[in-house]
Structure 1
Amino acid sequence: MTWTSELQVLASRNPFIDELVKQGYAVGFVNAHLVIFGVPYLNAAGDLMYLDMISPLDLREGNLIDRPSDHKLYFAGEVPCNIDGNKISAGTAEEVRFVSDEIVGNRMLSNKPEGGRQYESIEEKIYQYLALISAPAVHKYPGVTPRAALKKHVEAAPSPLRFPDTLSAREGMVGLSHRLRGQKVAIIGCGGTGAYVLDYLAKTHLEEIHLFDDDIVHVHTLFRLPGVYGEKHLGTPKVIALGEAYAEFHGGIKPQLKRVDRNNIACLAGFDFVFVCVDDAPSRQMIAQACHDAARPFVDVGMGLNQGRNGLYGFVRIAGGAVGDFDKLNGTPYMPAQNAEDREYRNQPQIAELNALNAAMAVIRFKQHMGFFDRLNESHAAVFDVAGMALDTVV
């Protein structure tokens, strides 16, 4: 069969996978799922059929397969039966399991080891299910080859992620996660909030994430960036420092050492979504207007803080998220066009938790736009009151 690079790595660290292939099984490693193609079984009428067995994998360090976190298995096909036409001794339910556009399970099997314990290993789980499903077919049709019967070769779906998305696989959310595939986004401004936006987006299947900023890393910047940056990064352009760090996880990070201005604003038309993370109101206004003119959705972030007797108080806000929001926001307090006189924000730079909150709100709004998260109203802005811990949406 055709080996993908991911399957090769998996087999090199887990001899069980290599053993399956040597036995003739057509095995795939697709979006953090182990798929065994063309497993023979009997349907209720006693006909010889073939199904694809699907099991999410729990991976730990070094691409080693961990002990299965549950006992379920998914497949595409009819309910497997014994020779007498009764279904095999496993619980079944109609449950869709999306692995890729080509591989979708329509049913779930539930079968625990003797005594109702957990499976000790992925080997035990797979071999128990293979025997349970195939034994009746092999008994009735002695000549059947229960290995690679369909000769189905499926390449792993392309992804810019350096690691398999086992979290989405384990939770059955591959279909939702893939709604971000093929998308190109821009983060304009890579200070505290913009850097956290990158941190969240780098864990997704976005095709490209472009970073726009012409500033360098200062000492105060170190307190606001996600992760740990040190002395060697001082004086380095922010987009270079961030790009090098996050390229270890995502292959589509594109640092752009430039400030977005009227000379290059036309480049925004090439993106599917834009995150506006600048703290200069006139620049924000120009970028938002350009996105509107190019019919590109954007989300703008910001915060306003004041220092009182009991500490900082103020708000964190997002605005936009859909094409057409600019008309609703332009000239309103939710997307200020003028810089505030109070510059307390600049005097209190060590507020990474508010940067992270601001970025999380923006990314949630983006994922609502992409259909990953549900959206209950057509709000075009949201404001979080820091002192009151209250969130208001603006419809």
Structure 2
Amino acid sequence: MSAALISLDPHLRRLADEGFEIEVANTHLVVRSIPHVTTDGTLARGVLTCELSIDAATGLTSTPQEPHTMFFAGTPCHRDGTLMSNIIASSSRQRFGEIEVDYYLSSKPEVTHRYENVYDKVVAYERLIGSAARSLDKSANARTYARGIIANDDSPFAIPDSASARYRIGKVNRKLMGRVAIIGLGGTGSYLLDLLVKTWVTEIHLYDGDQLLNHNLFRSPGSPEPALLKEFPLKVNYYAQTYGRIHAGITAHPFRVTQDNVDELAGFDFVFVCVDKGSSRRAIAEGLLRLGIPFVDTGIGVGMEDDCLDGCARVTFIRPETPWAEVERLLPFGDDAEDDDLYRTDIQIAAVNSLNAIMAVMRWKRWANYFRDERNEMNSVYMIEGNNISNRVAR
């Protein structure tokens, strides 16, 4: 399959964006999951295929697209199961490219007698064959989105991104491309990773020096991988291996970020800070501000009150130009200070950790102009009791 050709060619890309299951192999176009009626009147799915006409100058599909014919693996029948003799030029089992086909089809546009591009050609043949199938079942459609954008040469995913095709948000998704880091893979950090691997961010770097223990699994996403947990793995190694199944470019750094090694963060486009120790937060914040890297700092505080859990989730966004005095006002740096007690309670709840991660990702996406941002807040705090979020904007 020529991923580059589908990605670059506007007509092939349009087919992929609309959910057609297309492949290109050795200049042969293959379109799978074409609904059709069989000779016994039942529904089935077949394959349309043809040789692509390529423009020698551009390397893309030529316009107009010649020839006008296509091959079909399946039985192109009318609603009643009779063959569509009006479009069948010949019928014989043969091999065309890499596909065993049954029929050679010929149908020209009435006015121009040629297809202006390969998109028009595929849509026309699918309509001819699929309309009979849809007369029996309205849901019979070749636009399955099962494989979506099969070809995205710049895709960071380990599997095809059918979601971008289905909702046609490929362009806005690319705004998130770049290098990000997560510092701290506890409850909030692990949920952050779960959200980031569904985005088009190019590289995700994980920093944490702790092992993954049983209690961690109750405030992290997904279900445990027993085979990976036997040797008490480091969090970064476990999560990099687990999420590597969906996203490429995940790198594990099995150590804590300190004042001595914070300069290793140079070159990142954005950093998520998910630590619970004030001195560590200070060292990281000082380093990122000096390196000119925007970041989000997260924090939760959950405690027991009147036999109920109560507390908050905080997200603070720091730009490189933020004055240090303002950073000190916004971030809790004291490990034992009275005003930091809320953030240092031991209770961790998946619902609050995941909400904290969502707040952080939403703020990052607004910064990246992925979501609209008319508020431009620096600090957001969600209060459990009252179910409200208070925002503080930059001075």
TM-score w.r.t. length of structure 1: 0.65
Aligned to 1:348: 347
Which of residues 201, 204, 225 in structure 1 aligns to 2:196?
201
Could you tell me how far 1:324 is from its partner in structure 2? 2.6
One-letter identity of the residue aligned with 1:330: V
Aligned to 1:130: none
One-letter identity of the residue aligned with 1:212: Y
- Distance in 1, matches of 2:239 and 2:224, equals 9
| Identity of matched residues, % | 31
Matches within 5 A, 1:373-388: 373-388=371-386
Paired residues in the alignment total: 301
Could you tell me how far 1:307 is from its partner in structure 2? 1.5
Contact persistence 2:311–2:342 (CA under 8 A): no
- Distance in 2, matches of 1:171 and 1:252, equals 24
Which of residues 230, 237, 240 in structure 1 aligns to 2:234?
237
In structure 1, list runs of 5 or more residues that go unmatched: 28-35, 42-47, 51-80, 85-107, 126-153
Aligned to 1:121: 141
Aligned to 1:164: 160
- Is 2:324 aligned against 1:330? no
Contact persistence 2:2–2:23 (CA under 8 A): no
Which of residues 358, 361, 372 in structure 2 aligns to 1:360?
358
- Distance in 2, matches of 1:278 and 1:390, equals 24
Aligned to 1:225: 220
- Is 2:172 aligned against 1:179? no
Task: Please list the CA deviations of residues 17-69 of structure 1 after superposition, one character each: whole Å capped at 9, or x if unmatched.
Answer: 99544x21369xxxxxxxx944649xxxxxx9x9xxxxxxxxxxxxxxxxxxx
Which of residues 83, 93, 99 in structure 1 aligns to 2:111?
83
- The 3 A distance-change label for structure 1 pair 18 and 253 is farther
Aligned to 2:120: none
- Distance in 1, matches of 2:131 and 2:379, equals 52
User: Which secondary structure does the structure 2 equivalent of 1:254 belong to?
Assistant: strand
- The 3 A distance-change label for structure 1 pair 378 and 15 is closer
- The 3 A distance-change label for structure 1 pair 221 and 124 is closer
Matches within 5 A, 1:310-321: 310-321=307-318
User: Which secondary structure does the structure 2 equivalent of 1:361 belong to?
Assistant: helix
Contact persistence 1:276–1:299 (CA under 8 A): yes
User: Which secondary structure does the structure 1 equivalent of 2:140 belong to?
Assistant: coil
Could you tell me how far 1:326 is from its partner in structure 2? 5.6
Aligned to 1:258: 255
- Distance in 2, matches of 1:168 and 1:19, equals 24
One-letter identity of the residue aligned with 1:381: N
User: Which secondary structure does the structure 1 equivalent of 2:356 belong to?
Assistant: helix
One-letter identity of the residue aligned with 1:347: D
CA root-mean-square deviation: 4.2
- The 3 A distance-change label for structure 1 pair 302 and 233 is farther
Deviates more, 1:116-125 or 1:236-245: 116-125
Task: Please list the CA deviations of residues 283-318 of structure 1 after superposition, one character each: whole Å capped at 9, or x if unmatched.
Answer: 111111111111110000001233210412121010
- Distance in 2, matches of 1:177 and 1:268, equals 24
- The 3 A distance-change label for structure 1 pair 234 and 308 is farther
One-letter identity of the residue aligned with 2:210: D
- Distance in 2, matches of 1:83 and 1:171, equals 34
Aligned to 1:291: 288
Which of residues 47, 51, 64 in structure 2 aligns to 1:24?
51
- Distance in 1, matches of 2:358 and 2:144, equals 40
- Distance in 2, matches of 1:237 and 1:323, equals 31
User: Which secondary structure does the structure 2 equivalent of 1:375 belong to?
Assistant: coil
Contact persistence 2:31–2:48 (CA under 8 A): no
- The 3 A distance-change label for structure 1 pair 204 and 26 is farther
User: Which secondary structure does the structure 1 equivalent of 2:181 belong to?
Assistant: strand
- Distance in 2, matches of 1:360 and 1:372, equals 14
Task: Please list the CA deviations of residues 163-189 of structure 1 after superposition, one character each: whole Å capped at 9, or x if unmatched.
Answer: 2221121111111111122x0101000
- Is 2:273 aligned against 1:246? no
Could you tell me how far 1:198 is from its partner in structure 2? 0.4
Aligned to 2:392: 394
Could you tell me how far 1:222 is from its partner in structure 2? 1.5
TM-score w.r.t. length of structure 2: 0.65
- Distance in 1, matches of 2:328 and 2:231, equals 38
Could you tell me how far 1:250 is from its partner in structure 2? 0.7
- The 3 A distance-change label for structure 1 pair 25 and 321 is farther
User: Which secondary structure does the structure 2 equivalent of 1:292 belong to?
Assistant: helix
In structure 2, list runs of 5 or more residues that go unmatched: 6-21, 35-44, 55-59, 69-108, 113-122
Could you tell me how far 1:373 is from its partner in structure 2? 0.7
- The 3 A distance-change label for structure 1 pair 222 and 2 is closer
